[in-house]
Structure 1
């Protein structure tokens, strides 16, 4: 049995490597079907979320296979990579697990499952922050890769260019161990010229050294987390702990109270303000802060604000679209029927 499963998996990996475009089409189809199924029948919520979760896990698996094919080595230790994979899986399955627990168990069982998942996620994120200095952590930790940039020829050519640049830099470092100046400035023209003693070997010389050196450094630093100062560590810690604080406040104050809503929103705003200006952050960290800022709009769709202010206006706009735009009723009416259940689950994803 084990050999059969192993053979099936090996064949699947080979098919992913040989036909990445078709695999991407399958992933997209499964995800679109999850949207179309929602609200169509009684248990559509469970089936829709199962298909959506399966599509995310399928993307994660296929990305790992394609990375292995392209010989992309993680820039972090293996243990950290595995923790990020586990955290990503939790991010993908948490909604489906919550919906399943809501259907199978009592409300107490559902909230125990929610609490267990959020405690596990917070523990993993704190461990990554403290142990591995992971900096500003994205959600999910392992994002889908750009399939178009993973062709074998492109990857091999890029590795070759980086390797050549690193050889050039190594040659320069070897010839500058005596701490002699690498360049000097001409007095009359002000032009900067490289010294002869700092020149590498003949086979490594190039007229575009500074650009290559900068390119390699950018390649090395692109995925390197920024070292956070104390204030930013506290800001990231607040962001990580917010889901647990929100759950505790809901338990203490109840679902109809404004206190959990205000507390959670206040923690998100405080965390973003404490991060300060993102000028010194890398591209991925800036994108994550933009995502967190955008997610503040979700508070307009979370109870009790949604129940008292947003719901009537949203339903009114959806009815206008359904009645006046031909064909839109086929999509909007199932969505309107699914909206109450959708709002109760998706806008209580505590880590968003």
Structure 2
């Protein structure tokens, strides 16, 4: 009885998501925004805020899967690889909340144990994807949120797949031109299903190209080494922290050298696919985070960043409402490991 009730609720939820993607997107945005509003409102606001934010990201991941199924989009990778990628994505989404919750319950020792376990699990999954499935350069997260607009157009095209099999002279007409005004109108037979219906005319652009699945580039030994360095860097950093302590410069310096070495060994990215080039640009930009990571932040960056934020908050009208909470939240944000050190 309970199983049937749960199955009925799941089917109704899938149907509501498929039929109302725009409304679902608005609810997701509201849910994510509420995590920022909660911050600083109560004693456990940081943990509660991260719980809401992680839940909103998991909701987006689940709704994306439902919409993909609704428009008959099948993953282009093996099912086992897709499951590994989804598991890794879930770990990326919940790691900050888990760190803060464990710290609240079991203190610093429990926090560092769970940080090490999560980083080890992520490294194992990434090495499986790299070596076993030849996944190439892996983005963070492995499954990014879908472009819902392109997905809706793809859903519109799936309704016409049967028509594409018909002879050319028997296909229903998609548009017609009004005699007096010359305005192009869409015929009723060309209207897509309700959940992906728009007021725009059928587009001639190739939606499949916009949602194209790029085969992972075959990495040479040098690039395999570079990706291996990138995957193992968090573990090496945690190991150095446990030996030298959090105030030592050696973990910070060694981690920075590993990131730069990995990017240098990748060489010219012109041969890589667009997704992989985007990921390398993200990794290059993420080097800026070293300015916010201790001990560099404690000694050099903190005073300058806080001074700049206070200056903007006092001099620019309206910026105080945005920057003052950021100034107050910055010390808490800077101490959370997964905010700054997660790959």
TM-score (norm: length of structure 1): 0.81
Residue 102 of structure 1 pairs with residue 103 of structure 2: yes
Offset from partner CA, 1:115-142 (integer Å, 9 cap, x none): 0100000000001111000000000000
Q: Distance in 2 between matches of 1:216 and 1:24?
A: 21
Q: 1:229 corresponds to which residue?
A: 220
Residue 330 of structure 1 pairs with residue 332 of structure 2: no
Gap change, CA 1:162 and 1:94, over 3 Å in 2: farther
> Tell me, what secondary structure is at the counterpart of 1:74?
coil
Q: Distance in 2 between matches of 1:261 and 1:77?
A: 38
Aligned residues of 1:40 and 1:334 also touching (Cα < 8 A): no
Select which of 223, 229, 243 maps to 1:252: 243
Q: Distance in 2 between matches of 1:85 and 1:99?
A: 22
Aligned residues of 2:241 and 2:251 also touching (Cα < 8 A): yes
Q: Distance in 1 between matches of 2:289 and 2:162?
A: 45
Per-residue deviation, 1:51: 1.1
Per-residue deviation, 1:42: 2.1
> Tell me, what secondary structure is at the counterpart of 1:150?
helix
Per-residue deviation, 1:24: 0.5
Offset from partner CA, 1:83-137 (integer Å, 9 cap, x none): 0000000000000000001111021111000001000000000011110000000
Aligned residues of 2:95 and 2:338 also touching (Cα < 8 A): no
Offset from partner CA, 1:268-321 (integer Å, 9 cap, x none): 100011001111111110110011011000000000111011100111111112
Q: Distance in 2 between matches of 1:41 and 1:72?
A: 43
Q: 2:229 corresponds to which residue?
A: 238
- Which of 1 and 2 has greater Rg? 1
Q: Distance in 1 between matches of 2:243 and 2:270?
A: 39
Q: 1:201 corresponds to which residue?
A: none
Aligned residues of 2:47 and 2:97 also touching (Cα < 8 A): yes
Q: Distance in 1 between matches of 2:20 and 2:211?
A: 30
Aligned residues of 1:39 and 1:335 also touching (Cα < 8 A): no
Q: Distance in 1 between matches of 2:106 and 2:5?
A: 36
Q: Distance in 2 between matches of 1:247 and 1:32?
A: 32
Q: 1:156 corresponds to which residue?
A: 158
Per-residue deviation, 1:163: 9.1
Aligned residues of 2:150 and 2:207 also touching (Cα < 8 A): no
Q: 1:29 corresponds to which residue?
A: 30
Per-residue deviation, 1:238: 0.4
Per-residue deviation, 1:331: 2.7
Q: 1:120 corresponds to which residue?
A: 121
Select which of 309, 318, 321 maps to 2:309: 318
Q: 1:266 corresponds to which residue?
A: 257
Aligned residues of 2:333 and 2:339 also touching (Cα < 8 A): no
Aligned residues of 1:302 and 1:347 also touching (Cα < 8 A): no
Q: Distance in 2 between matches of 1:159 and 1:296?
A: 46
Q: Distance in 2 between matches of 1:145 and 1:273?
A: 30
More deviation, 83-92/39-48: 39-48
Q: Distance in 1 between matches of 2:305 and 2:338?
A: 15
> Tell me, what secondary structure is at the counterpart of 2:270?
coil
Please list every run of at least 4 consecutive aligned residues from structure 1 whose deviation after the TM superposition is greater than 6 angstroms: 157-164, 215-221
Aligned residues of 1:272 and 1:293 also touching (Cα < 8 A): yes
Q: Distance in 1 between matches of 2:278 and 2:268?
A: 13
More deviation, 133-142/312-321: 312-321
> Tell me, what secondary structure is at the counterpart of 1:63?
helix
Please show how residues 116-265 of structure 1 align to structure 2 within 5 Å: 116-151=117-152, 153-156=155-158, 222-265=213-256
Q: Distance in 2 between matches of 1:307 and 1:347?
A: 18
Q: Distance in 1 between matches of 2:163 and 2:226?
A: 39
Aligned residues of 1:222 and 1:282 also touching (Cα < 8 A): no
RMSD, aligned CA:
2.4
Offset from partner CA, 1:220-279 (integer Å, 9 cap, x none): 974210110111000000000000000001011111111011111111100011001111
Gap change, CA 1:19 and 1:347, over 3 Å in 2: same
Aligned residues of 2:96 and 2:338 also touching (Cα < 8 A): no
Q: 2:88 corresponds to which residue?
A: 87
Q: Distance in 1 between matches of 2:12 and 2:159?
A: 28
Gap change, CA 1:280 and 1:161, over 3 Å in 2: farther
TM-score (norm: length of structure 2): 0.83
Offset from partner CA, 1:44-76 (integer Å, 9 cap, x none): 111111111011100000000000011111111
Residue 43 of structure 1 pairs with residue 44 of structure 2: yes
